[in-house]
Amino acid sequence: MNSSTSTSKIGRNIFIPIVWAVTLLVSLLPDILFRELTGSLPAWVYWVKVGLMLALLLASLLWKRVRPLWLFAAVLLAVYLLEGSVGRFFQSLNYTSWLAGASPFVQNIGSVQIPRLATGILLVLIMLALMGRFERFFLVKGKLDAQAAPIPLITSKPVSWRILGPAIAGAMCLGLLVFIFAFGSLPSFQSLKGILPLLPFVFLFALVNSFGEEMLYRAPWLGALEGPLGPAQALLITAVYFGIGHFYGVPYGIVGVILAFIPGWLMGKSMLETRGFSWAWFIHFWMDVVIFFFIALGSVAPGG
């Protein structure tokens, strides 16, 4: 073992617990615990998270030993502050009035997707400034037919992502359908008749949400963590963060966390192995189509 390899392993042994601790503390996990245990979320939680991220950024800039984590800290801070500030900016514009007169589905989902689209676009610009190239945070097509390494319990041999990508999208959509029919309500004949005018919005919102969440939860994180932590840990951390972030989504609760973690891990794997955004966005898009379709029908609702 040469000295550079040894140094790299020592560095990762230090970085891994730091990144895991910071990720869990700034994730939705503290919010979930406060809301579920006390029924409310103290305002100071937000600022404690910001302080923690700033502390990591300053430490990584001032302390040479943890300097490889500066990009992760910068990405984390950018994602967190941007998501909150964009939301507040749109609220100041009373932007929900833009959707007045639209269906309840368009109003409810559109009020989330308008700021999410703006956040996603701004994140692209910030990541380009931080990383210098689209390739650094995977915002390129990538090699669509790259070989996927074997996946435990799924594939025992390498397989092309041209086969695996659509297969994962189909399997994940099927899993969502099972959850919806098991825990949601069956759509009424009247809702089925009224779904046609909403279909363009289902696809539009799925396109926007899948892009926004890939930027918020995955692509910049992998770009920042793959170097200092290695691909396996970077992939696991992003999948956990993605899963926790869906506690109040569809599916919801612990089931939602687990069912988001699995595709989150697979979508992150597609980015790392194809070095691009395409299959992750494709899989995420079709899952969101299923979710928004049944929200439009009134069969399920976010958070319950």
pLDDT, tens digit, 9 for 90 and up, residues 225-274 = 999 999 999 999 999 999 999 998 777 788 889 889 999 999 999 999 99
Q: Copy the structure tokens of residue 179.
A: 């959850």
Q: What per-residue confidence (pLDDT) applies to 12?
A: 75
Tell me: pLDDT of 151 over 50: yes
pLDDT tens digits for range 162-198: 999 999 999 999 988 988 888 777 776 666 777 888 9
Please report, as a single letter, which amino acid is at residue 303.
G
- Whole-angstrom Cα distance, residue 271 to residue 218? 9
Q: What per-residue confidence (pLDDT) applies to 1?
A: 42
Write down the domain spans for the chain. 3-297
pLDDT category of residue 5 using cuts at 50, 70 and 90: very low
- Whole-angstrom Cα distance, residue 115 to residue 154? 37
- Whole-angstrom Cα distance, residue 251 to residue 290? 11
Tell me: pLDDT of 304 over 60: no
> Where do we find the tokens 């973690």?
261
In contact, 299 and 187? CB cutoff 8 Å: yes
Residues forming beta bridges with residue 160, ordered by sequence position: 147
Q: What is the mean pLDDT of the chain?
A: 91
Please report, as a single letter, which amino acid is at residue 82.
L
Question: In the chain, what is the straight-line distance between the N-terminal and C-terminal CA atoms, in Å?
Answer: 53
> What would the mean pLDDT of 274-278 be, rounded to a whole number?
98
Rg (CA), the chain: 20
